Chains A and B, each alone.
Chain A
């Protein structure tokens, strides 16, 4: 008995306690809540809205108005944001869906992706300004974390507009290509199309979002799932706004005379894989890549441009740019001065005290 007690005492002494950090992080994050911005892009009629509704099990598009063919001949691309607050098991998510109606719908679609790239850049710029500002407590992160691009399943692979769009965006946002309306393809056709699209993505040098590699110490089952996930891209998805009865259950699906397509049936489509990837496992990684890679690229580029401009003007020699900071108001300046003086006084007092102690010791 004594041996056990001593063992336990020793263990307790050795136990520092930082193993609780994950729990602390969890608690804090639940309290703070999360935010995520998802952009959907693709021609009209690809099922984007239906898919978003299916993914988040809600109806974001209650009163939208669709344009006629005539109105679309010269249509320009708009950017429309829908923001909703959703909660699940105490975890709050502020979800923003960025819609791009009009993309690819006009007869002449030259540079129809420009409004979209401009929007993404604007969000980066806004964040850049906020980040360089003085009061950074409540920065709003409106940067686009992921862009789902819907490829029509009616063709033989990527079309020129698909290639151009993805190339214009692949260095600004995580691009996840999807095969839309996959219920018009048989399993063989899906495989052929996926292979073709993957080959074309590589051939044209399009950098789509890559899933991060598994850690080598993950268990085999996880690694297997991860491998299956990667080989399945681009995901062939089907969405549905309606609930039907299939095999005795009520599921989201599409009712046809020849059968029922179940959205969440993995042998029917890759919806579940997409949902798991997007929401259940990789949402945070998407945010990280946006912050660490795309945003940093933008920021570096911005700074370079600014310095090169300054160098041209021959005004500054230092590589650190002077940002157009907002001039602080008089109040804040006074406060800063006061605080500075206080700090100086305290520093002096500290030095005096140290000296006294030193003398005393001696």
Chain B
């Protein structure tokens, strides 16, 4: 009954009603905002770039803090990711910021596997979230979301084009994370060179099918600014935490013998643009894109891998529950079967060994018997011989006695003869 009722309702046209007075649900966004402020926000940045290219300095400059950081060495055997989480606060807004560094990127002589640790890390964060989502007892509202919301890819300012490693890495990452390419240490490129460099980079990205993050232009409040920013990609940035006095102000800058490069001067570099786009305008959109696009893609691929489908051969929607149950039963069945097999194998083995042992025992027994018989035989023989020997000895003794008595009586006889 319920199903048909719903059908009727959805076929009706939706009607717009006008209100007779102020109801008050226009405060819904405010309620949402106040709830999220209480909850606190969470943002995860992945910085990919060669050692020494300025990742840590840029983070310090962006967030106006000194995150603790030791200089990385160039001699790592491979690439590994180093996540660090910080709690920041501005006005009454709490931000749980995680910055993930790629240590050792670009230093090895053979860089064919350099992208793997990065892809693995991103996938692991997705996997962790998926696991939490699939739990029976979930606490998603409490869950510390470690999925990467933005990947800042640091391009070396060679002035020619992307490096081969950059191309290969970005292609592997573009379907998993929002990428914003930036030109690092841009104070070594002059204006005309920069213009050519940016065009070359963008054309290489396009011709190789690399999808970078586009600032959204569907929200009218930010369409204009986002559209114009999209045209300035990749951003040429300069980072600095040192302050230099320029005129009567103290600004963050880099002091050279030939001039002072001011980080927040828009005619010097695109730092301000990056900060606007990344933090002040599109941070929330980045989080949304990560969840709605990249994470969903990962989830779908993963579940398909596990054998789940959305529709069965008859095009009826599968319930995840059912599929899950079926899979579970199958799995348990498998497990039981395996257990049986192993048990059987164990029993067989025991029997075998028992039989072997018995055989051996029998052999030993036979041998023992044989030896015993031999021993008896020998003993008998020895007995016989002993008896023979005894007899001989006796015989000999008798003869000896006989001979002695004879010899005794003989000399008498002789004497007798002599006397005669």
Contacts and interface: CB of A to CB of B under 8 A. Distances in A.
A184 B109 contact: no
Given A73-B164, A154-B157, 15 more contacts: A45-B160, A69-B162, A69-B167, A73-B167, A75-B164, A154-B52, A154-B156, A155-B74, A159-B51, A159-B107, A184-B187, A187-B257, A256-B258, A256-B259, A267-B257
26 contacts: A45-B158, A46-B158, A69-B163, A69-B208, A70-B208, A73-B164, A105-B163, A105-B164, A154-B50, A154-B54, A157-B74, A160-B108, A181-B157, A181-B188, A183-B256, A184-B185, A186-B256, A187-B257, A254-B190, A256-B187, A256-B258, A258-B260, A259-B256, A259-B258, A260-B258, A265-B258
Contacts of A45: 156, 158-160
A325 interface: no
A108 B112 CA distance: 6
Interface in A82-118: 105-110, 112
Given A70-B204, A184-B185, A44 B160 contact: yes
Contact of B261 (A72, A153, A156, A258): A258
B112 A257 contact: no
Interface in B177-193: 184-185, 187-188, 190-191
A157 B107 CA distance: 11
Contacts of A161: 109
A164 B190 contact: no
B168 A258 contact: no
Contacts, number: 131
A44 B159 CA distance: 10
A60 interface: no
A254 B112 CA distance: 36
Nearest to A260: B258
B268 A69 contact: no
Contacts of A109: 109-111
Interface string A178-209: 00010110110000000000000000000000
A264 interface: no
Contacts of A310: none
A259 B268 CA distance: 11
A159 B164 contact: no
Interface residues of B, number: 49
Closest 10 CB pairs of A and B: A45-B158, A259-B259, A184-B188, A155-B52, A258-B259, A259-B258, A69-B162, A73-B164, A72-B164, A69-B167
Contacts of A254: 190
B110 A110 contact: yes
Dominant SS among interface residues on chain A: loop
Contacts of A158: 74
Interface residues of A, number: 46
Contacts of B110: 107-110
Contacts of B160: 44-45, 66
A152 B49 CA distance: 14
Given A110-B109, A159-B107, A160-B75, A154 B190 contact: no
B71 interface: yes
A68 B166 CA distance: 12
Interface in B27-65: 50-54
A116 B160 CA distance: 23
A284 B257 CA distance: 34
A91 B161 CA distance: 40
A52 B181 CA distance: 31
A261 interface: yes
Given A156-B52, A255-B190, A268 B258 contact: yes
